[in-house]
Amino acid sequence: MSRHTHSSGNPIVDRRGAYAEALSSEHAYAEAAEVMAQALELAPDWAAGWNSLGRHYEGSGSIDRAIAAWQRSAELDPAGRYGAALKLAAHGVGGARGMSAYAETLFDDYAGRFEMSLVDRLGYRVPEALADMIVATGRPAGARPVDLGCGTGLMGVRLRPLVDRLEGVDLSQAMLAEARRKGIYDRLTRADLFDFLGGVQGVDLAAAADVLNYTGPLPPVLAAVRPVLSPGGRFAFSLETHGGPEPEVLRTSLRFAHHTDAALGACREAGYAVLATRAATLRYDRGEPVAGLLVVLAGT
């Protein structure tokens, strides 16, 4: 996913930034960093550029320089749209903040090539697997299924045959525009899922496919979903998983990964019944399988 599309305002600098990005995509990270550092001499307040420079240094193994670049980017972009504060947190510098602003920018950039990239190149199969689990575990008849973080509608396509009506919510306007084109949602809302959940009730099925990697610790999500579920309502979601001791870690990919036992413990502690779980490869990242967990819960 490229972050260089956010202009510096100077076409010459932008061209150099694009060249650095091309070098980086060929794994020539040190050369990319050199080109980008020179470009930034002409545009020292370019937040997206400093963020990219951090990535090029990270790729080249110069973590100290990467951290300095992300610190500069974070100063220039206090909302965190480029994710520099998250990169710092993933490298152990400061706390994770600005996840929503970062996810919105990321997916607004990514929307046009999301499905080709994720499904065709990265082997994303979460929606069909999650839909199979939803069918296998049954659910109460209800009127309000909600696709949380619906993106372009890949999960919605799988949910649509199972429900009479369908709602989707997402942070990203561009992802929602792609979803709208599919014509499968009765209602689409642009909102942070936490804000959205604060205003709904009687949800019989909430789905979050490949979304909770972008929201951080699990307990706040579980607490936000449970009160909106109708009795016995289902919450189906995927998580990226890791094998370390922490309940969750923020990876340098800027996705959170969760520990399976801690996640399922949190589900029970939050008052859900765990109906089904399945360990699965969620997709591939640089040719490597990304391990994950699919979960269907019932509100009790």
Ligand X SMILES: C[S@@+](CC[C@H](N)C(=O)[O-])C[C@H]1O[C@@H](n2cnc3c(N)ncnc32)[C@H](O)[C@@H]1O
Q: Which residues bind ligand X (CB under 6 A)?
A: 100, 103, 107, 126-127, 149-151, 154-155, 169-172, 175, 192-193, 209-211, 214-215
Whole-angstrom CA distances from 69 to 58, 158, 246 are: 10, 42, 28
Minimum distance from residue 166 beta carbon to ligand X (Å): 13
Q: Which is nearer to ligand X, 57 or 214 (CB)?
A: 214
Q: How far is the CB of 137 from ligand X (least distance, A)?
A: 19
* Token pair in block for residue 53: 């420079």
- Report in angstroms how near the CB of residue 100 gets to ligand X at its nearest: 5
Closest CA to 23 of 13, 35, 11, 14: 35
Question: Would you say 29 or 107 has its CB closer to ligand X?
Answer: 107
Closest residue to ligand X in the complex (CB): 151
Residues 184, 72: Cα–Cα separation, whole Å: 43
- Of residues 196 and 272, the one with the C-beta less far from ligand X: 196
Cβ at position 10, least distance to ligand X in Å: 29
Least separation in angstroms between residue 296's CB and ligand X is: 15
Q: In the complex with ligand X, which residue's Cβ is closer, 216 or 265? A: 216
If the CB atoms of residues 71 and 215 are measured against ligand X, the closer one turns out to be 215
How far apart are CB 45 and ligand X at their closest, in Å?
27
Structure tokens at 193: 């899922």
Q: Which two tokens stand for residue 250?
A: 């923020």
Nearer to ligand X among residue 193 and residue 263 (C-beta): 193
The whole-angstrom separation of Cα 45 and Cα 40 is 8
Q: How many helices (H) and strands (E) does the chain have?
A: 13, 9
> Residue 71: how many CB atoms within 10 A of its CB?
18
Shortest separation between residue 17's beta carbon and ligand X, angstroms: 24
Q: Which is nearer to ligand X, 48 or 171 (CB)?
A: 171
- Note whether 132 and 158 are within 8 A (CB): no
By C-beta, is 209 or 270 nearer to ligand X? 209
Q: What is the DSSP string of 4-62?
A: TTS--S-HHHHHHHHHHHHHHHTT-HHHHHHHHHHHHHH-TT-HHHHHHHHHHHHHHT-
Beta strands (DSSP E) in the chain are: 145-148, 167-170, 187-190, 203-208, 229-240, 248-250, 256-258, 272-285, 288-299
